[in-house]
Structure 1
Amino acid sequence: MAITVTEGAARHDEVAKAWGIVRSHLRESAGARLFDQWLKPIELVQGADCDTVRLALPSAFMTNWVRNHYADRLVQEFRAILPDVRSVAIETRSATAKPAVLAAEPLVVAGAAASVEASARPQLDPRFTFDRFVVDQSNLVAFNAARALAEPGTPRFSPLFIHSGTGQGKTHLMHAIGAAYLEACPDANVIMMSAERFMFEFVQAVRARAQRQNDRDTHAFKARLRAADLLMIDDVQFIAGKDSTQEEFFHTVSEVMAAGKRLVISADRCPQGLDGIETRITSRLSVGLVADIKAPDLGLRRAVLTRKLADLPDAKVPGEVLDLLAARITANIRDLEGSLNRLIAYAQLTGEAIDMDFAVATLGDVLRGAQRRVTIDEIQRAVSAHFELKPIDLVSARRAVVVARPRQIAMYLAKRLTTRSLPEIGRKFGGRDHSTVIHAVRRIEELRDKDREIDGAVRTLLRELEG
């Protein structure tokens, strides 16, 4: 929508006043420490789009953190003051001088009206491409299926149904499909939306039809989606129990498939496991290819961190810290990447170097919450079995290297995998002093860097102890 200079200035003043109110609300709810570290640096950016509020932060790390933790809250706060706001774009300040290449991630407000032209331009995250997706056996089928569906020509299958737990990469693959398909077919009509957005736009169209007493709005909604060459709908489980929405969803899916178009659906479980979704819908979604993404194992988690760090050349994170994050944060990839972002951001804010102590101090709550409760007894049994010793050998006074080195490894693992203090660990190893534990930990850290056999043994034990 074109606006005059005067209208633009007035709009910016209006948004600026709203931003002042939003900031005060955030300060009250977040507390002084969190607000000062993450939210206070946010600046309002003047833009020509009346429907979008643009906010900027000084670094990519802070931008990612605010997106992950406050995106929905910011949208809600602005909408409460300015109901016509459709989205909030959270940007990195260094990029704001070049609007054409901003790495913004607009957050579409549920129920907001969208024109056909705007919806035809999918809001794809430039970070989520195929070459940035770390692949292993847990996600290989879904990855290959996604790449196949993005190829030009007649699709080999449709729909593609991707399911996994939260934060495992479903949305990443959907963005990657959209980006690759548009690269191959620049004029294609690609639409990506969440199931919630589908529901709210449909309900809005129905309400508008009732108010205006004509079918123009519902026809426009239906025509826009069914004209898509590639239609992607994320988190379909959210339409469970919504009868009228499911009716429209069924007809949309049916027409897209009948026309030979590409359809991608994601959910948190397989089609047959979608409670509250009509059988005719789950049956229709199962006729293409159903691919699951399993929970990431330790190797994949570590590879994801390595890939993430490669994009941040100025960030210095020791390998042992990456090992710690990969070992402790096992729930999903999103939490893993978020923890790395938090660690780097804190280091930038404080000026401290990242090491094991800094990581534990910064992410202690996350690490403790994610950690499986490994005991020192379990560690001693595992180490003894690995090195073919008796558990009593590890607590004995024997100093032969065949016993002393496994004992040091057991102490190292106890320090890394448990919350026991150094004196407590020493007592569990035959009443040894805490300084002996410190020496053991440092010695194993040194050996892991230059002795492949020791490093391999530690990695094997870590995998075993963390299940």
Structure 2
Amino acid sequence: MSALDSATVWHRFRGELRKAVNESTWHIWLERMGFREVDGTTIVLEAPDDVRSWAQTRFGRVLTACAETVLGPGATVRIADPEETPPETPAVAVPRVQAPASQQLNPRLTFDQFVIGESNRLAHAAALAVAETPGLAYNPLFICGPPGLGKTHLLHSIANYVHEHGGGMTARYTTAEAFTDHFVAAIQGGDMEGFKAQYRGVDVLLVDDVQFLAQKAKTEQEFFHTFNVLHQAGAQLVLTSDRPPRDLDALEDRLRERFEAGLVCDVRPADRATRLVILRKRVAQDDVGEVDPAALDLIAERVDANIRALEGALIRVVAFGSLTGRPVTAELAAEVLAGLYPELSKKKAAPTIKEIQEGACEAFGVSMEALLSASRTQPAAFARQVAMYVARELTGATLPTIGRAFGNRNHTTVLHACRRTTERMASDREAYEAVHNLLRSLGGN
């Protein structure tokens, strides 16, 4: 087999393998494997002992399936020891080149593999609806939320569903950054017609992280025209961002208005029950062996930042157990989380009402005496309302208990304060930021 053919086989095999496993597994284990040669219908790789034994035991079938995808039925994979004497013909040095981001679609990210919880139920239902009836359900569909909560999973799920059940319909997934890079390359290469054909000739366009279009005037203008052409043609558009359209201040008003013209839904951090289901599903999917349910409980309890961090923690714990020959127990999980993720150690206890009052005084520049007084002047009144709202959010205290802590006020006063704070947050961006900054400083989400 020629050097060029060997390079092609390696690139395709590596691309298939990366799509077949999750990001944590890829970066911790499989990315460390190198290419040696193609021996007939066998792809020969090389890897250190720990990776070789893990890959052969846990991912043998996946490796074979990827090889058959590239070389055809009957293809196999052999993982050699790097110290093993290579054949006389030196292995071809193959650069690790990835396909453009806009071309990558992970077949593992499907609706079947998406774990539904209260934090993402609406987004999942909307994504499934547009996958089943592109251009008819919600157009555009705009999904927003912090990183690592499943937005990209939903985009891939839609594209995979359309490719499998769409009756020949086409779906293209890209990121705002990839769209920008492709646009710039098209301008420099004089191939704008080809660029337009790739993005405007599809039935479903899915764009991840559209907030990165901001402050790129020419790219933003091109995306605006692409959006209009597709929308007028009845094609489906699905967009994601780390925040809702109204908060994308750096984007042009005309683009934000179009984003808001369809359905805007958010994804929020998963609750503990959903995190536990995600871990159980990942264990079953990756066939990682025996894992004590108590270990999963501990990981789900401590790792609540996002799903990527959750799955990464699971992979770390399982890998540590495999390398040390220890069973994956709650004790092992606690040890790994404390050592590798010190920030994920025992979560901070809920703040007391006194601590919340002190935090509000500092945040709004009022004295404790003013906060607890009967004064209705600003900013003391707003600081008091916010403090009551935060106390209700972060403590298990009843309304009467909170009222007593704020100068013996009754529970209806506390309830009124919570409602007023909620209303003001909805209409006043500065108030929203002030409240959330206080929540974060006190350890809330």
- Would the TM-score normalized by the shorter structure come out above 0.5? yes
Question: Which runs of 4 or more aligned residues in structure 1 lie more than 3 Å from their structure 2 counterparts after TM superposition?
Answer: 9-15, 37-41, 54-64, 91-97, 105-110, 371-378
Deviations 1:106-153 (A, max 9, x none): 94357xxxxxxxx7xx53212111111111111011000000000146
Assess if the C-alpha contact under 8 Å between 1:272 and 1:282 holds in 2.
yes
2:158 to 164, 177, 187: 177
Assess if the C-alpha contact under 8 Å between 1:135 and 1:143 holds in 2.
yes
SS of 1:263's equivalent in the other structure is strand
**CA–CA distance in 2 between the matches of 1:270 and 1:40?**
35
SS of 2:106's equivalent in the other structure is coil
Give the equivalent residue in structure 1 for 2:126. 145
1:108 to 69, 87, 99: 99
Deviations 1:79-107 (A, max 9, x none): xxxxxxxxxxxx964544323599xx994
Give the equivalent residue in structure 2 for 1:168. 149
Instruction: Give the counterpart letter for 2:310 in structure 1.
Output: L
Structure 2 length as normaliser, TM-score?
Answer: 0.61
Please show how residues 157-306 of structure 1 align to structure 2 within 5 Å: 157-209=138-190, 217-306=191-280
Assess if the C-alpha contact under 8 Å between 1:58 and 1:92 holds in 2.
no
Deviations 1:345-385 (A, max 9, x none): 2222232211122222323245430246446999xxxxxxx
Give the equivalent residue in structure 1 for 2:327. 353
**CA–CA distance in 1 between the matches of 2:304 and 2:167?**
38
1:6 to 2, 7, 17: 2
**CA–CA distance in 2 between the matches of 1:183 and 1:243?**
36
> 1:38 offset after TM fit, Å?
4.8
Please show how residues 442-453 of structure 1 align to structure 2 within 5 Å: none
Unmatched segments (≥5 aa) in structure 1: 16-36, 48-53, 65-90, 111-118, 210-216, 379-464
**CA–CA distance in 2 between the matches of 1:171 and 1:274?**
19
> 1:343 offset after TM fit, Å?
1.5
- Does the alignment pair 1:98 with 2:94? no
**CA–CA distance in 2 between the matches of 1:45 and 1:146?**
42
**CA–CA distance in 2 between the matches of 1:97 and 1:357?**
39
SS of 1:143's equivalent in the other structure is helix
Give the equivalent residue in structure 2 for 1:398. none
Deviations 1:236-280 (A, max 9, x none): 111211111100010001111111101111111101111311111
Deviations 1:285-344 (A, max 9, x none): 111111100111111111111221222445211111111111111100111011111211
Instruction: Give the counterpart letter for 1:368 in structure 2.
Output: P
**CA–CA distance in 1 between the matches of 2:173 and 2:271?**
29
Cα gap change, 1:40 to 1:8, in 2 (>3 Å): closer
**CA–CA distance in 2 between the matches of 1:198 and 1:232?**
11
Give the equivalent residue in structure 1 for 2:33. 42
Cα gap change, 1:59 to 1:256, in 2 (>3 Å): farther
Instruction: Give the counterpart letter for 1:108 in structure 2.
Output: A
> 1:180 offset after TM fit, Å?
1.1
Deviations 1:431-452 (A, max 9, x none): xxxxxxxxxxxxxxxxxxxxxx
Please show how residues 332-411 of structure 1 align to structure 2 within 5 Å: 332-371=306-345, 373-374=347-348
> 1:8 offset after TM fit, Å?
2.0
| Identity rate, percent | 35
Give the equivalent residue in structure 2 for 1:124. 105
**CA–CA distance in 2 between the matches of 1:150 and 1:229?**
11
Deviations 1:209-231 (A, max 9, x none): 2xxxxxxx011101221111011
Deviations 1:31-82 (A, max 9, x none): xxxxxx85895122657xxxxxx99864888999xxxxxxxxxxxxxxxxxx
Give the equivalent residue in structure 2 for 1:395. none
Assess if the C-alpha contact under 8 Å between 2:106 and 2:156 holds in 1.
yes
Unmatched segments (≥5 aa) in structure 2: 12-27, 39-44, 76-95, 353-442
**CA–CA distance in 2 between the matches of 1:178 and 1:278?**
28
CA RMSD of aligned residues (A): 3.7
Give the equivalent residue in structure 2 for 1:86. none
SS of 2:184's equivalent in the other structure is helix
SS of 2:326's equivalent in the other structure is coil
